[in-house]
Structures are given as structure tokens and as C-alpha cells.
Structure 1
């Protein structure tokens, strides 16, 4: 019996069939013969009903309950994917443990054990905050216990984040990149957006010479006039699908497909260490260009969608400080000149 002969969520398994619905944490062996009334009764019950949360208070039950919560269901697909990745790790190490027995020291130790990967270590703590908050909501933690994951000091970023692409590297990339990789590059530079948003840009988002859309990560609506350079480049691109970036059949492409293509191009470049520069660094290039053009913080935020000054400091770096200091000193010089004229 092939998968095509079986209904949704049902798979062959050692002579029987198994109902698997990962979003609900369900995996149920079905010993009824597919197609029989008994089979359909069992199947319909599994489809309509939710797998009950185990009466045993442990992380396994907590995680399954969280996956059924409105808070989880409202997350963006990318955020859901990230959460599941780290929750899976927590499930592996603490699945059978009672959340009430986990104290701040245990989460702190988990954080420290992953110190060599500071981003992942911080994300583990952030996910634990979410899980333990849900544990309180469903009665797995008592009010007096508080949230043991809160207050753990996170590792600080030791650098200014992703590095902007050097001019020489950009020139080489523009010369050697195939059409789709070059299109991704131009959109990242021209709009200053994350690659996850760039791959979802539709031709319908481009109206009256501007990019009108809502950021995927922040859910923030933005309207951004296109640069002359990006307008000129897009005028050379064939419209083969709904999205600007497509596969050979005109269908949208996934973030990971584009990211892998960009990595392959950089791996073949002559520029030293080109492979170490990530596509997200182009967002930093765009931010720096805005500051170099004389934009202030609010103007930069209006294009990039950054929500706070701290992120702008990371993206703008010393360029931001220099441009602001130059404008400040120019203002002082003008004031001095005006004094002498009076």
C-alpha cells in the first residue's frame, strides 16, 4: 500500500498504519484495516480530537500543551521553526522532569554549557522563559515560584554583528553572480530589508515607485521609495511569477534555497574570506549608506524598519557616530560664523 492510498497524516508502519500529526505531538498506531468503517471511525476521532495532555506533570506534557496554545499558533512560521528547534533540545534533556523541580540554577547551567555558541545559548534561555510562563498558566508552576528563567544574564555580542561587505568584494560579486543571486543582492542593498522579506517581495508590492509591504519579523508596515539604482535594475528583470525572485518555473523560492545559492557564489570568489560575509551583512551596507548620505536615526529607521537606536548602533557602527558628530560640529561652526556677522 502506497502513501497515495492513505488519507492525510496516515503512514505505513510495520504491517499496520500509523497516524502522525507532529504539530499536535500525535503518533498513534492504527490496527484497523484502512478503508473499513472501524478505520474511518478511529481516523475521524483522531482528526477531530486533540491528544490530551498527560496528567503527569513533566516537560513533555508542558511542551505539547504549549504547541496547542494560542500564543504558539500566532507566531510567525519562521519563529515557530526556531522555537521548535530549541524546544526539541529541552524536550530531549528534560522531557520527563517536573518543571516545578527546575530552578534558576539549572537554567543558568544550561546557558553556560552552550557558551561557545552565545546566540544559541541566549535563545535557549528565551525559550525557557516562554515555556515556564506557559507552565504557570496551566498550573504546572505555582505563583510563588515565579519564572525561574527570568533574570538570567544573557551573553553579550562581542562584535558589531554581521560585517558589511567591503567595496572590492561587492564589485566582484556583481561581476560574477548569476542572475538570481544578483537580483537578491540588489534587492537587499536597495531596500535594506532582511533576506527573509526580500524573497517574498511580489511585483504587486511595487507601486508608484515604492515598496509597500509588512515586515515578516516585526509585523511592521513600511512604505519605501525605491532607489534609482534599484528601479533601473528591476526594469531589466523579467516578470515570470507573482514574486520578483522565482525558480525556473516562475514559482516563489524558499529562504534556504536563496541563502545556499548565495553561499555557493561567495565560495567561488577570489576575494579573501568572501565566504565569511553573510547576506544579512548587506542590510548593514544599506544602513551605512543611509548614514553616509546624511540621514538621521529616524530617517534610517523609516527605511530599514529597525525599532530602536541600539540596533542602529550595531548596524551603523562608527559611521553613524562620525556622521552625527560631523553634523553637530558643522552646526557649531555655523553658529560661530553667525556670531561674527552680528
Structure 2
């Protein structure tokens, strides 16, 4: 379709038709060109009297503001939204007044490589920038996404492992019963749930000696019996809120950021920075395997698929099987 076939101020972009007129905000057409619905949209745009006729200055600050008001951002999981915010604020601080329509692939690569010493941060920034520039395309500010196809930095990925027994003991020693740091650890290790689900736990979720959990990620519903270590921590916990883990005032749930920061202080204190909150979920799965549980029994606690149970427990599973193999080998030699 040639431009001369389109009405005035209507232009075809890579992902559809846009109304673009100097001094007016860019608008994407929802209807197919030539249909009655399209012409109604076109007439409504031209006839809008209360619509502001001054377009916002095209800058990264304006782009980020628009992105945060979009469904693309609002539909993010709360934890993901917090992670995105760190990088969005970073972009605003270093590129605030610059026009995102002028960003080129070489600029994206330069930004990535400037943070090469912090590979995780550099790669996550690239992912967020890719999403942000896709929103820039959706707004009609540019035709292509310069971050698409830019490879992430290669890193030597270290697989997450459960906390060693001596570090769990050190954590318990550093965090007495009654502290939030101790309670969050016992909830994670003893129930085997993700930190997001643990922070959402309420006192009313305790039924028949166990926790009724509906996992936010998988929507699976589980009932997980309470272990003695967790029962001891719950007995001395305050009950000023419907939530088990609360903020400092005891009025609402403990935020992920607050819990993560508090646990990190303890991890630094006992030399456990290599092991994070999510590693406690590994502890739960591995302890079940060491107790002789099959995959179905592990999944009955963690809610994981068979593949994820295997992924979480492959090292301890190999160790358990190796011990059994060598025992059988020794017995066979004795019999001979």
C-alpha cells in the first residue's frame, strides 16, 4: 500500500498504521484500513477537541513513564516489576533527556559492555532495554528495536545449590527464635515453597497441622504438614497481622525487598553470600531425597514437576545413589 493511498497524517509502520501529525500525540489504529471502523477512528482523532495537541518531548524519561503506564508493565509479577524498576531508573539516570528514537545498535552494545564487570546486571539491563525499546516501536516513535538480537555477555553459570548443613546451623545460631529472619528461613526450608508464596502466608492458612498453599506461579494447591522446627518458630511469632511475616510495624506483609535485605545481612555475617533465599527451596527438595522420598513425594511438598525435582536434587541424588552402589559393591565382595 503506497502512502498516497492513505489519508492525511496516516503512516504505515512495521507493526501497523499510525496517526502522526506535528504537535499531536501519535496514535495507532486498531481497525483495518478501509473499514467503517477505521474511518470512525480517523474522524474521532481529528474531531477530538479536549485532546492535548502538544506531544511530550521524546526522551527516555517520557518513554519510561509511558511504559510504566502500559499493560505490558502492569501485568508483570510484583517481583519482576521490582527488578525492572532498578534498570528503568538506571536508564533514566544515564539517558534521561536523550531521544530513544535515535538509539542505534552500537549504542546498545556500548551500554552492555560498559557494565561487563557486572555481567548479570549487564545482561538483565539488556533484557529490560529490549522490552522498553519494543514499547518505543509500539508508540510509533521508531520502526525497529535496536536491542533485538544483541547477544548477552557469556558468563560461567554457577548452578544454585542448597545451603550446607553448617551454614544452616550458623544461620539459626545468628537468628534466635522470635526474629523475622529465623521465621522466614524456617518457613522456606520446612515448607519448600518459593519466597513469594512464603511472604503471602497467613495465619488462617494453617489447617489440620499444615499449611494450605496455593502457589502463585503454578496455581497448584498443596497442603504441607508443619515440621517441629517450624512449629517452634511459629509458637513465638507475633500475631499482630493476618500475615505471618510482617513489616517492622507489624501492620502488613513483609516485602520481598525488605526480607531479601534482612537475610543478606545475616548471609554476610556468617559467610553465606554464595547461597540465597531461593536455595532454601533446594534444601527442602534435597532433604526429602536424602530421606528416601521418590519424585512424587518430593513434588507433594514442593509442587514441582518431575523434571524440576530432578534438576533441584541431581547432585544429592547422585551422592545417595553412589553411596548405595558402593555399599552393594562391598557386600558383593564379602559374599564372594
Q: How does 1:1-342 map to 2 (within 5 A)?
A: 54-142=55-143, 145=144, 147-156=145-154, 158-178=156-176, 179-180=178-179, 181-216=181-216, 218=217, 220-229=219-228, 232-233=231-232, 236-238=235-237, 240=239, 241-246=241-246, 250-252=250-252, 253-269=254-270, 273-274=271-272, 276-294=274-292, 300=298, 303-304=301-302, 309=307, 313=311, 315-320=312-317
Contact 1:163 1:284 in 2 (8 A): yes
Q: Secondary structure at the match of 1:111?
A: helix
Using the TM superposition, name which of 248-257 and 190-199 deviates more.
248-257
Structure 2: gaps spanning 5 or more residues = 1-49, 326-336
Using the TM superposition, name which of 120-129 and 92-101 deviates more.
92-101
CA 59–176 in structure 1, closer or farther in 2 if over 3 Å, else same: closer
| Alpha-carbon distance between aligned partners in 2 of 1:308 and 1:103, rounded to the nearest angstrom | 44
CA 215–113 in structure 1, closer or farther in 2 if over 3 Å, else same: farther
Contact 1:197 1:215 in 2 (8 A): yes
CA 276–170 in structure 1, closer or farther in 2 if over 3 Å, else same: same
CA drift at 1:230: 5.5
| TM-score, scaled to structure 1 | 0.65
Q: Secondary structure at the match of 2:112?
A: helix
CA drift at 1:202: 0.6
Contact 2:296 2:306 in 1 (8 A): no
| TM-score, scaled to structure 2 | 0.66
Structure 1: gaps spanning 5 or more residues = 1-48, 330-342
Provide Cα deviations, 1:96-138, integer angstroms capped at 9, x if missing partner: 3333332333222322221221221111111112112211211
Q: Secondary structure at the match of 2:136?
A: helix
CA drift at 1:86: 0.5
CA drift at 1:159: 3.9
| Alpha-carbon distance between aligned partners in 2 of 1:267 and 1:58, rounded to the nearest angstrom | 40
Provide Cα deviations, 1:42-87, integer angstroms capped at 9, x if missing partner: xxxxxxx999984443323222211221222232333322222211
| Alpha-carbon distance between aligned partners in 2 of 1:304 and 1:78, rounded to the nearest angstrom | 20
Provide Cα deviations, 1:174-203, integer angstroms capped at 9, x if missing partner: 344222232222111012233343233111
CA 300–311 in structure 1, closer or farther in 2 if over 3 Å, else same: closer
Contact 1:187 1:230 in 2 (8 A): no
Aligned match of 1:44: none
- How many equivalent pairs are there? 274
| Alpha-carbon distance between aligned partners in 2 of 1:56 and 1:74, rounded to the nearest angstrom | 26
